[in-house]
Structure 1
Amino acid sequence: MEFASVLLIFKKMSLLLITLYFFLLKERLVECLVAQNYASDSENLKPNIRRRSEFIVGEKFRVRVVLSEDLKNHLQYDLLKRQVKDALIFWTKAIQPKRISTQQILIERNCNERVRSQMRPQYHYCEGGCNKVSICNGFEIPEKYLQKCRSSEKDVVKKVQVKKSDKSDFILFIRSGDYGPHTSLATADTCQLDLDTNRPIAGSITILSAMKYIDYNPGELKRVIIHELGHTFGFDYRLFPYLRHDDGSPRTRRNQHTGEPELPTNANEGLKADRNTIKYVSRTWHTVSGEKTYKRVALTLPSVVNFARNHFRCNELDAVDLESDGGDGNKHSHFERRLSIGEAMSATCDIMASVSGLTLSYFKDTGWYNVDISMAKPWDWGRGQGCEFIFKSCGEFIKSNRTSSPWCDKIINTESIIHCIPHVNAYGICNLIKHSLPLKPEHIHFDSLPKIRPSQLSRFGGTDTYADHCPYLSVSTVLYSCTF
């Protein structure tokens, strides 16, 4: 058989496998999930090995890591610890707290009846007593990291100031959780805020299906941890009302008695943070079903907006859209996926995601950190595409431009062409597929496609739900691995 014939067969087989890959994964790819052939983590435990479950990473920003017992006894403990350390080394170099607390970090205990103190309104007590176990994001907090139980007003008045006993500025609890074929990669939550600055001082990460990366691609586990650390350090919709100006003053007005954010319901259309932080924006899209206007939540933080204006080349931009899809764990706590593909704080895991100047600009605007912007990694998605790229639907953008890039309009099949992806160093294929059910009207971007009947067009869109089913080149082969 001639070499050319062999090469052609190889190419067709490769394309067939890639096509099958996208068809099988569809929604699971969007949510960054793993295949169904998973095993219990108990198979990876190796008991009776003496290992440290706590260690500190960082110099100017010192993070104490506390691992759960199951992770401490994991067969791949050393490799796991390396990924956690590497992820923290990046963050602790990129951001450092402006103000260091002199008090020991202790977590408020869980209870059923939490009552705000009248004498010291910054504090609470547990009427009826504290729970025996205090949990943050599934992690059972060790006793030594918990505040003394306050069960009455008297306990609050007697509160003892505990001087710092170690050199940590943040405590990070990490555990692994049970997972199945439809489980997220990981989850994160803030466990405690500093009383004076509101900066997160303790957080918890639960590693779910991302644990499988430890066996065949530990670098991807590090990337997931980097993303989750971003949440624990403050990229969280629930924390937006607590952000501060550069001088330390609150961005959102506070209750003079409790110090808590307190914005009148009608002040910012029901949002809990001030308009100098977030606001609603209207985006008018031309879709197959006609012109529609959508209301979305967007960041108005100055450094974030300035970075986005320069990156996309759009001086009209006055707010950067936050994710509009997903549940409480995704909606508004990530940058809008359609505009942030390849960015670490997007809602979907990307093979080559990076912490760009967009994310670091957010942390600068929190008022909690000094930020080394030189730590930002290259990020080219949407660069220089102009205001049309931001304000128009991807279908309208494709129609109005000579080229569909960075979007694409080629349906996945065995004849699909593997492309060099312009915004990353990788090869990929257009993720436009036929879905099992019609898409939402605002996610139908094509009024015609080659060889597709008009009645079927409502079922064609990209695999990525968070990107509004806009089709783009998905990475299938990395040319070289990137590092943080």
Structure 2
Amino acid sequence: MVTTLGIKMAPEWGGGTGSLGLGPRPSRWHWSCSLWVRGVLLLLGGFRASATSIPVSLGSSPPCRHHVPSDTEVINKVHLRANHVVKRDVDEHLRIKTVYDKSIEELLPEKRYLVKNKLFPQAISYLEKTFQVRRPAGTILLSRQCATNQYLRKENDPHRYCTGECAERTKCGPIIVPEEHLQQCRVCRGGKWPCGAVGVPDQEGVRDADFVLYVGALATERCSHENIISYAAYCQQEAKMDRPVAGYANLCPNMISTQPQEFIGMLSTVKHEIIHALGFSAGLFAFYHDKDGNPLTSRFADGLPPFNYSLGLYQWSDKVVRKVERLWDVRDNKIVPHTVYLLVTPRVVDEARKHFNCPILEGMELENQGGMGTELNHWEKRLLENEAMTGSHTQNRVLSRITLALMEDTGRQMLSPYCDTLRSNPLQLTCRQDQRAVAVCNLQKFPKPLPREYQYFDELSGIPAEDLPYYGGSVEIADYCPFSQEFSWHLSGEYQRSSDCRILENQPDLFKNYGAEKYGPHSVCLIQKSAFVMEKCERKLSYPDWGSGCYQVSCSPQGLKVWVQDISYLCSRAGQVLPVSIQMNGWIHDGNLLCPSCWDFCELCPPETDPPATNLTRALPLDLCSCSSSLVVTLWLLLGNLFPLLAGFLLCAWH
């Protein structure tokens, strides 16, 4: 299976593009910062000497002090109604359900609008597109906290039972979890069996989500003592893969700025904090799994790893984090020992070696400074400077493949640009990753088996196992990795047009435009839920190559609008099906389009909602035959011919 991205960075992190500021090339790197720092100091020193009248400020945000929740703040082994993760499950986009606490509604209107309509929708949209997850089968229903923080578990029973009573309110961090998201209270009276369920039954829960994020704006003690914009963590983990299924993000209300120039910094911070809640946390290292779903840290009979009371978290094994000593160059040509902690999971090691071009690198170094919350919970700033998950924000954060690799160990997988749809006739069309062109998966069969290192597939739909070595992407210099590729149409060997949606000259001929497409500078690629059909009276035509097409879009206060001919269709949420029925050149064109995320194309988007009923049935079905001009002419001619006969009959009757 293909799991590695062919690019250095994930999709754009903040307000601009950039690369990791890593100092010298790996060949000159001796695990010491002396050479790099001397170069920077010489540059700054020279600048000060030649331009002393100009003040220079090197800005840096305060270090992120990620709070690893205590064992009393986290509920492990939360039972979801189905065992929903297996090795061969299909990976799909991560779905995050955002639930706003009432404290958000108490913010000033301009701050409330910023949080609900810009800040969190943009952050969530980015993370959902960046990560994949093996799809849960059931609803997320969270466990209730216990009044005494003490509980019992019974063998072969997935639930936990509070000794005494359940807590009156269940919290995720400082935020109260709504009652409708909770399981029934289960207790053991007097701490003894038999135990049972009491009170209201299981509630509705959260549907169609892989992670629930509770967002608040509470003026907590952390907000009053630390100079922070927001902080986040997880609060409940599911039973099968120990993956967080619920977490919180709290914004310090006095630190929310509505100044446009500060938005990118806040957005970057919110993304950083949510990734902590999703799995980048020292408190979760002991819960990481290998590629086959097996824990990397051994477990006790209760299914939990050992707890380190001095650190206040579950103790990871050396398969996850390893302590090593480096030889460290200091002044006077001396070498001293320097202790570092390396994250050594196979995925992270592989990406770190590629990034630094060092085949013997043991792992990726974790931060060793900044105090509790910064240490071990971030990448080493000296090595990955402006990477998104280093401990402070200095400039232009970017998300690297190293962080994506770590998130795979939590069960959140990096989004792969690769495909596994065999190129065939008719074509199954899709969209290029940037949604600017119609594309086709370039997976094909080769006449000879590919070299062993380029044989990626364990299985392909409809392909016998013995033929799998023959299949790969058509581009050799892409290491035969198949990807969705823009293409062009040819007729008798002569170029006709390409599939780039933005080029007006790619507009198909009127009588070949089955999908009622529109190419031009404001057009993007959209997925077709079904093949478009052209219909006129008794005649029906459809094009065998379908799956995507180019359509014009625009941004509005109501959200993203898709234009087909001169008719606009409002997208209320991503994945919404738009039934399209329009008249063009004397034909009816019927089909269905899938709405993309508004944030893919617009700078401002309203919260997602279910589409109104009027949007689902926006127009009555068209029937050209019932109002055909030729039919009307025929009727008039018939009446004209009948009129003399009728007049003659009346005259005869009169006489």
TM-score bracket, normalised by the shorter chain, equals: 0.5 to 0.7
In structure 2, the partner of 1:278 is 321
- Mapping for residues 181-192 of structure 1, pairs under 5 Å: 182-192=226-236
CA contact (8 A) 1:305 1:320 kept: yes
Deviation, 1:181, is: 7.6
CA distance 1:356–1:103, change in 2 (3 Å): same
Pick one of 287, 297, 315 that aligns with 2:341.
297
Amino acid at match of 1:100: P
2:124 aligned with 1:88: yes
Amino acid at match of 1:188: A
**Distance in 2 separating the partners of 1:14 and 1:116:** 69
Deviation, 1:180, is: 4.6
Q: Secondary structure at the match of 2:54?
A: helix
Amino acid at match of 2:321: I
In structure 1, the partner of 2:103 is 70
CA distance 1:258–1:165, change in 2 (3 Å): same
Deviation, 1:238, is: 1.0
In structure 2, the partner of 1:117 is 153
**Distance in 1 separating the partners of 2:395 and 2:409:** 27
Deviation, 1:236, is: 0.8
**Distance in 2 separating the partners of 1:13 and 1:181:** 36
**Distance in 1 separating the partners of 2:195 and 2:393:** 44
Deviation, 1:340, is: 1.7
**Distance in 2 separating the partners of 1:61 and 1:353:** 22
**Distance in 1 separating the partners of 2:61 and 2:413:** 35
CA distance 1:296–1:147, change in 2 (3 Å): farther
**Distance in 1 separating the partners of 2:367 and 2:153:** 36
CA contact (8 A) 1:84 1:225 kept: yes
CA contact (8 A) 2:290 2:409 kept: yes
Deviation, 1:194, is: 0.8
Amino acid at match of 1:69: K
Two-structure CA RMSD over aligned residues (Å): 3.5
**Distance in 1 separating the partners of 2:106 and 2:307:** 47
- Could you tell me the percent identity over the aligned residues? 24
**Distance in 2 separating the partners of 1:354 and 1:226:** 11
CA distance 1:350–1:373, change in 2 (3 Å): farther
Deviation, 1:192, is: 0.7
Amino acid at match of 2:214: F
2:208 aligned with 1:167: yes
- Mapping for residues 152-301 of structure 1, pairs under 5 Å: 152=188, 158=197, 166-178=207-219, 179-180=223-224, 182-208=226-252, 211-216=255-260, 217-255=262-300, 257-262=301-306, 272-288=315-331, 290-301=334-345
**Distance in 2 separating the partners of 1:350 and 1:101:** 41
Q: Secondary structure at the match of 1:214?
A: coil
2:178 aligned with 1:142: yes
Q: How does the TM-score come out when normalised to structure 1?
A: 0.60
Deviation, 1:135, is: 2.3
Residue-pair matches, total: 330
**Distance in 1 separating the partners of 2:307 and 2:230:** 32
Report which of the two structures shows the higher radius of gyration computed on alpha carbons: 2
Deviation, 1:132, is: 2.1
**Distance in 2 separating the partners of 1:172 and 1:65:** 5
Give structure 2 stretches of 5+ with no counterpart. 1-49, 66-91, 419-432, 434-655
The higher-RCO structure (CA 8 Å, 6+ apart) is 1
Q: Secondary structure at the match of 1:303?
A: helix
Q: Secondary structure at the match of 1:190?
A: strand
Amino acid at match of 1:147: Q
Deviation, 1:94, is: 1.4
Deviation, 1:341, is: 1.1
CA distance 1:14–1:373, change in 2 (3 Å): farther
CA distance 1:156–1:84, change in 2 (3 Å): farther
**Distance in 2 separating the partners of 1:119 and 1:181:** 44
Amino acid at match of 1:125: Y
In structure 1, the partner of 2:478 is none
Q: Secondary structure at the match of 2:291?
A: coil
In structure 2, the partner of 1:470 is none
Deviation, 1:84, is: 0.7
In structure 2, the partner of 1:15 is 54
Deviation digits for residues 62-114 of structure 1 (CA, Å, limit 9, x no counterpart): 21111122222432222222221111111111112214142433143243231
Q: How does the TM-score come out when normalised to structure 2?
A: 0.46
**Distance in 2 separating the partners of 1:101 and 1:194:** 13
Deviation, 1:333, is: 1.2
Deviation, 1:173, is: 0.5
CA distance 1:233–1:119, change in 2 (3 Å): same
Give structure 1 stretches of 5+ with no counterpart. 1-10, 34-58, 377-484
